Structures are given as structure tokens and as C-alpha cells.
Structure 1
Amino acid sequence: MWSRTRKKPKKYRTRRWEVGGHRGHLAYPATRPATTRLALLDLPRLPFFSRGRLRDFSSSSSSSTRLDSPPTEIFLPPPRRDIARAMGSKDGSGAASSGGGGGFFSSIAAGVRSLGTAVHKSVNGLVGYEGLEVINPDGGTEDAEAEALRGRWKQEDRDSYWKMMHKYIGADVTSLVTLPVIIFEPMTMLQKMAELMEYCELLDKADECEDPYMRMAYASAWAVSVYFAYQRTWKPFNPILGETYEMVNHQGISFIAEQVSHHPPMGAAHCENAHFTYDITSKLKTKFLGNSLEVYPLGRTRVSLKKSGVKLELVPPLTKVNNLIFGRTWVDSPGEMVLTNLTTGDKVVLLFQPCGWFGAGRYEVDGYVYSAAEEPKIMITGKWNQSMSCQPCDQEGDPLPGTELKEIWRVAPTPPNDKYQYTHFAHKINSFDTAPKKLLASDSRLRPDRYALEKGDMSKSGSEKSRLEEQQRAEKRTREAKGEQFTPRWFNRTDEIAPTPWGELEVYEYNGKYTEHRAAIDSSSVADDDTDVTSIEFNPWQYSSSSSQ
């Protein structure tokens, strides 16, 4: 039985700390009474307080409060010492020194109480938010309020947009709201699906690996790697029904994605090279919470490794976009990722740590490769924005003697000061260098609104976005008048309804026609014509009359 309540194999947990240039690990019992465990979840993670301090938090009618900086000395106990002593004095009997009469915990408690009062006074009127200042989740030293003021939103835009959006609190806004292009990036959701292929060489390694547990470690590192790209806070364009995205010239893959449904928005993709095949049906589900948005990855992702014949299924955690309208926008993905070997029953369970106070725990990922008998075999740890490492472990989850952590993935260097925080691979996705010969006219690269935004023409991007959306509505009216249904070109809808943690999913499967289409073009004598692909008119339309409107 796989669940969060299952007893953890490790007897003791550790958390990294850094104070004054010194680093170490804090060890504490892994098993605690439920009441203690719940209480600890509500407390800031103290060893990380050295990363930053609480900004002055005030409203127009309240005085500012400041949390004292952490003590210069933190006692780090040996393993098997209770966490209460870890936070106490050096003899384990008193409060930690804080430079004040009340001790470190007293200082924290007072600061938190004052913070709660300030928050209550600041947000008692939702429309204004004038008194709400910004806390930097990264725990940096820069002025977070000034950072927010340098953002993409002007104050009048924030106010008007909030007045429009507050009525949608608690609703799924996936297709309810028309959003301004000012919050978009020049990429569609279909292209975003292709970003998972940046480090697909990890799947190649998994296919070549003879060790079944290391195979799972490589595959899970591949699944984690895309989250570095997912931390971007810009919104991708929703694809038009029938829109496609093709990609070649990367690690020998052939990638095709298609928008197969408009209401609800659904995309399907297929990717293949000499080592693996990848198939996904994706239907995002969202919940608008006022100044944040929860995104539930309602989908099914499967990978087949060709050499071993192993089939893998991935269930990712949800994603939360914080400070959506007010404050500095940032993304977190708290929860569990589960990668299951459908052939053998082995699993990888990774916990994405939620971002705590001052960025504590943000990016951290920890977990194990488990055998079908639920025994831990390999420990996996790292940060989804930096690297992942693994190490063989015993049945208690402790590293095996004589073994060392092995790095299995690291983020590639990124372009400095990129406007949209794109990686080099993200730029390749937008580039025609990764487009195949005879690119489909329905390809996302050809969208005029996306292309205009990429060139910095926001006004044209907005007008083209509105025009495409109206054409899509015209298509729907024509389809309904004819009594017809939209039929995807490269994927077929099946009768299968797949259960997911966030609801049921209609499954689309790849029909193989794109492989035949691409083989015919590659063998054609006209495959090497000199047509300028940028001159091709974007045309995902089912009816020819729509493309001329």
C-alpha cells in the first residue's frame, strides 16, 4: 500500500543548514508523534533563517515590525538526539541564545504574532491591497517591494484585473477568462509539453542500464528535470483546436503534439527515438484562489523503453503560482511525484518539499527507488533547479557503506539576463532549426500572436490573439451548424477513462499516421525545396472558410 502515511525507512532525517559560511546537517528523529509532526509543519524551518530576515510588514495604519536576525551560534546535535535539544542550548537544557532576553523561540513567536496582526489589518479590504508588502520567497537581501514594482503589472492594471478576477475565486479558470498578452511568453502549451525532452538523454541511459533500480533513478531524474523550466512565471498561449507542434534535430527524437480538444483544453503528444517512446494526454485543471493559482496536472504520461521492454507511468505533483496579481510572482510544486514501472511493480516516490518561510526547503526533492516488495533500494536527493544525485541504500534507507552520492543530472548553463528566463533549449523549441522539412501549417511557431510577442510587438500580439480566438469561435459555429465533430489528425480518442489523483481523464492515443506522413516527406524529391517557412500562413482550421476570415 503506497501512501504518505507509510512508515519511512529512515530512522533519522537531516536538513542542510548554512550560517556565516559554515555548513552542516541537522539530524532529528524521522518518526515523531502526530501532534509534534503537525506542529512542526506550522513552524518555520529554523536552520534556514540565516538565508534572510523578515521584511518590515506594515499597513498604512500599523507600525512596522521586524524579526530579529538568527543567533550567530546554532548547536548541531549528533544523530539520534531529539529535535528539541537540537534547538536548545549546548547542554540541551535551555533555550538557544538569541541575543535577547526571551531566547530565539520567544523572538520568533513575538515576530509571528505581530506579523499576523499586520496581515489582518492590511488585507481587511480585498480590493485595495495597498498595505500589503512583498516577501521574497528566495530569502534574498534585495528589496522585494521594489522588485515587485519593477514587474510587468502597473498599479492600474492590477486594480482593474483584480476587480474582474475576484468573482472567479475557487473556480477552474482554464478557459473562462481572456487574459492580456502582457502576462504571456512567446510559447504555446504544446511547445511547453516538448520542454520535457530537453534532457531526454536520461531516458537513453535508462534504456541502456542493466540495473533495474538505476534505470528507475535515471528515468525519475528525467521527470524532475523539466521543473527547472516550469518555474517560469509567464503564461504560455492556449493552443487553437487542431494546432500542432513538431520537433526534430534533438537527440534523434521525432516529436509531435496536437490540440485535440478546446473545451476542456486537451493536448496529446508522441515522441520517439531509438531508445524510447513517450506518450501523454494532458488536460490541465486549475483553481483560482485570489492571488494564487493551483494547477493540477490532470493527465497520463507513459514511457516505453525499447531495449528492456519496460513501461513506465508518471504522476507528477501539482503546481502553485503564487502572487499572481499582487507581489512578486513565483512558482512552487509541493507534493509527491510517483514513477511506476508497470512491468515489474518497482516505484520511485519523490517528495517535492513545499517552500517554507524565507524560501526554506524550496526546490528540495528527496525520495527512494522502491522494489515491488516496497523495500528502498536507492536514495535520491537534490534540487529540481540544480541537480539530482543518488546512492544505494539498505532496508532502513541509510546509505550503504563504501558507496558515495552519484550525480545523475545537472541543469545546463542558461542564457544570462534572458527576458523570459528561457533556457537554450527553450529557444531551440521556438527556432525553425528544430522544425522538420515541410512544416505543418498548423505549427505553433507560425502563430502570428506568438511570433509578434517574440519580436516584442505586444500591440500586434494582442490583436492577433483576439483575431485567432474569434476565428476559433467561428469554426465552432460552423461545426455545430453542420452537426459535425472535430476529429484530431494524429491522435485517436479511445474508450479508456484513466483515473488520476485529480479526476478522470479521457485518453487519446497516437495513431501512427504522423510517422507515415514524415517518412513520405523525407523520401520525397521535393523535400529539400527552398520555401521560407516563416512565410507559411498559420492554418489549423477544419474548414477552409475559417482561414480566410
Structure 2
Amino acid sequence: MNSEEEFYDAETGLESDDSCEVSFKDALVFDNKQVTEGSASQENGVWERRKTLPAEMISRNNFSVWSILKKCIGMELSKIAMPVVFNEPLSFLQRISEYMEHTHLIHRACSLSDSIDRMQVVAAFAVSAVASQWERTGKPFNPLLGETYELTREDEGYRLISEQVSHHPPISAFHAQSLKQEFEFHGSIYPKLKFWGKSVEAEPKGTMTLELLKHKEAYTWINPMCCVHNIILGKLWIEQYGTVEIVNHSTGDKCVLNFKPCGMFGKELHKVEGYIQDKSKKKLRVIYGKWTECMYSVDPKVYETHKKSDKKTGGDTKKVKQELSCEGEELDEMPEVQETVTVIPGSALLWRITPRPAHSAQMYNFTSFAMTLNELEPGMTRLLPPTDCRLRPDIRAMENGDIDTASTEKERLEEKQRAARRERSKDEEEWSTRWFQLGTNPHTGAEDWLYTGGYFDRNYTHCPNIY
């Protein structure tokens, strides 16, 4: 077994309702983005991003993950080798960039004059950032040390750079910035995983920081816990749970979101509920919805009135104890989703998930956005550093449906990485990151990997040869 590879798969998915049939007649609309099939960057007529992958998803029917994981119950999955067939054709660095799929929410927050209105939309963005995990059961490729990924979206008004800054433990750092100096969004991610027999539990490590520059505001939060069920047998599915606190460090406002575990009968599956409070702890708005569908905001008094009315009509007759852990679970079947989001009259729609393409299930359950992430646009190769994910031969081979080449190349790259580490050890040389350095997050005071700048100067002469 290759002990050098980390199996970290903090980003996977779960099937939700096929429809989002909710009533919008009583809802105000915060999210006014027009969604079209395929890409949002087709208006200029210069470049139309692809709507499909070169090959369909590779079947995993003849492979058993149990043979690999059966000796790892209760352990942290930090050095577990997985066959390439369980991957999806993206690096974890590319998976991180999917946080930016709903960047229009950040632009919306930037345009609002009221801080509570901005907090509502930032909360919706924090939920939307994990929405692409829905049904994504493939494991992204572990980034090699020094690997990078650049995403520039002029149509959405931002550019992003990410780098694998550490191999043991695996840490990925990213920094996104507005092309018009409206915002910066950055963080470093180290998911800690444990295997519990039928499920994998992922504890998020790393703070998300969103800065709205015009308003001189900084928001921070940590993503929710997640649990991937039916690792051994049955249909893979995921639930996200735990409390996410979004803090506005400039005003003292806070949004507390509860990602609810599904419970014994699945009544709470996918649900997110919380509130916004000011620095005096007065509740100003209630936030509710599902991370797989949509999020709303409503006045707390209206919410409480609706809740009391719901109880009188038997809408909440049974309480179930909910444990925030996968450990010791009795049943692991995915509960049926009993309802979509019930909209309370007077609610404001904050966000609605972008519909996936009809062929998504044959394409690793990718969103339209994810479908474009490994694409090499015309003339791009000469602009990218040699460390960019798009140039990885194992990911490229898997995307093309060549599983044998993908497996061979993956093993070659891992051995090359080990050999490079042995050489550094022999020479007593420390690895030096290129675009990020370890420092202190100025808003939380915690240790964080911070972007040092210079990437977009396009001087890549000192980039390592990792492929």
C-alpha cells in the first residue's frame, strides 16, 4: 500500500429531491441571477465553454472499497491509498474553486447598503459554497506538493489562485479576488477524516474569509461537518451537519446556521436553519432552507408565528434525538426526502441552486460549472505555470476515459514526489511554497496561509517540475 498518499475527500455529495417545487408568490427576491443552460460566459461570442466531458464516468461496479478500508475503522484516513477508479477527474484544488460557482451572491452583497442585508447574502453564499457536493461521490485527486490551479472568470468578475502548500498534513490554500477590487475571498483547507465502518466523517479544518472592500467588512466562518454514508455497500449519500457561525468583524453582527443531521426518519435531511443577530445579540432575521436547494430569510416574529401555527396543525409532533457523529450508527440507508422547502409568507429568497445538466449523472454528477474546470482554453497552456492541475497527465487521462493510463500516471507522479522529498531530506532542504506563506489571519488571529501576490505577473521560472 502506498503510505504516502492521503485519502481526503471532504467534498462529496448526496442526492436530494429532483425538483425544487416551492411557492415563490409570497417571497421577495434577493437572488436575481438569470440561469441559462451550460455556461454563463457565452454573451461575448468569443469563447463558449464546454457543456460535457470528453468521456462518460468510469464504472466502479467491479471494485470494492471495503478491501482497502476494512483495517482502518476508527482511524484518521491520512495515509490510505485508493484506486484511481474511485476518483473524479478533478484535483482537490479544482474542487475548492467550486466555492466560486455562485459568485453573483458576493457581487450582490457588495451592492447592498445595509449591513444586515449584506449578512443575509453572505450567509447564502456560505451555504451555496458547499452545494456542489450534492451527489458528488467521486474522490478528487490529491494535489501534489506545489501543485497550483488558476481560475480566471472575466464574465463573473474574479480570478482565483490555489496552491498545495503542505503534503503532510495535506493543506490547500486559495485566494480569489475581484477584478474590480470589490472583494477578496480566501482560506486554507485541511479536512480531517475518520472511517467508522459504513461511513466516513469529515471534520473541516480551516477558516473561510470574505472581505467586502468597499464596505471595509470582513466575514469569517468554518464549513460544516459532513458524513459520507454507505462506503461499503449501497448508494453513497452525504449529510452535512453542525453549527456554522459567520462573523462580521467590522460590525459585530453574527449569523448562526445549524446544518441539521437527518435524524432517524430523515425529517431534517438537508435542512439549514439559523438567525442573524447584531452585536447586542438581538435577533434580526431568521434564515432557513436546504443546502441542496435554496435559502430564505424572514422576520423572526413572522417565523415564530408560523412555527407555532405549524405545531398546532401537527407539523412537528415527533422529536428525534440527533447525534452529530457517524460513529456507532444503527441504520445507514438514505432517508427519502419528505418535502421541499416550505416558504413562509413574507420571506425573501436569498439563493437557489443552479440546475445541473441533464447528463450530469453520466459525468460524475458534475455541475455545469465543474464541467469546465479542467478545460484547456485556446492559448491557455503558454500562460499557465507548469504546476497547474490542467497539465496533470493522470487527471487528463481519467477525463478522457483511459483508466489504465490514469492509474499508471498517478503512481508515477506519486513516486516522483517521494523521490523529490528524499532528495530534499538528504540535502536538509525545506520545501518552499511559491504563492502563499504561513502567517496570521488578521481578523481571527489564528494561523492561516496567506497569498503573497505575484502570481499574475506570469513569471514562473522558479516553479518546480512536479509532473
Q: Same fold (TM over 0.5)?
A: yes
**1:193-272, aligned counterparts within 5 Å?**
193-231=96-134, 232-249=136-153, 250-272=155-177
1:301–1:313 contact (8 Å) kept in structure 2: yes
1:285 aligns to what?
Answer: 192
Distance (Å, rounded) in 1 between the aligned partners of 2:268 and 2:98: 25
**1:399-548, aligned counterparts within 5 Å?**
404-418=346-360, 419=362, 420-433=364-377, 438-494=383-439, 506-515=447-456, 517-518=457-458, 542=464
1:491–1:511 contact (8 Å) kept in structure 2: yes
- Could you tell me which runs of 5 or more consecutive residues in structure 1 were left unpaired when the two chains were aligned: 1-22, 25-149, 522-538
2:218–2:443 contact (8 Å) kept in structure 1: no
2:192–2:204 contact (8 Å) kept in structure 1: yes
1:64 aligns to what?
Answer: none
Structure 2 CA distance for partners of 1:497 and 1:218, relative to 1, 3 Å:
closer
Distance (Å, rounded) in 2 between the aligned partners of 1:398 and 1:245: 48
1:341 aligns to what?
Answer: 248
Alignment partner of 1:308 out of 196, 201, 215: 215
Structure 2 CA distance for partners of 1:389 and 1:413, relative to 1, 3 Å:
same
Letter in 1 for 2:151: M
1:269–1:280 contact (8 Å) kept in structure 2: yes
1:247–1:436 contact (8 Å) kept in structure 2: no
What displacement does 1:392 show?
Answer: 2.8
1:506-533 Cα shifts (integer Å, max 9, x gaps): 4211101224x15x89xxxxxxxxxxxx
1:441–1:540 contact (8 Å) kept in structure 2: no
2:60 aligns to what?
Answer: 152
2:434–2:463 contact (8 Å) kept in structure 1: no
1:78 aligns to what?
Answer: none
What displacement does 1:169 show?
Answer: 1.2
Greater Rg by CA: 1
Supply the RMSD in Å over aligned alpha carbons.
2.9
Structure 2 CA distance for partners of 1:304 and 1:541, relative to 1, 3 Å:
closer
**1:311-326, aligned counterparts within 5 Å?**
311-326=218-233
**1:25-44, aligned counterparts within 5 Å?**
none
What displacement does 1:165 show?
Answer: 1.9
- Could you tell me which runs of 5 or more consecutive residues in structure 2 were left unpaired when the two chains were aligned: 1-21, 24-57, 307-343
Q: Which has the higher contact order (CA 8 A, sep 6+)?
A: 2
Identity %: 35
Structure 1 stretches of 4+ moved >4 Å? 394-399, 434-437, 495-500
Distance (Å, rounded) in 2 between the aligned partners of 1:282 and 1:450: 21
Q: TM-score, normalised by structure 1?
A: 0.63
What displacement does 1:346 show?
Answer: 0.7
Distance (Å, rounded) in 1 between the aligned partners of 2:74 and 2:442: 26
Q: Which has the higher helix share?
A: 1
How many residue pairs get aligned? The number is 369
Q: TM-score, normalised by structure 2?
A: 0.73
What displacement does 1:403 show?
Answer: 7.3
1:280 is paired with a residue whose SS is: strand
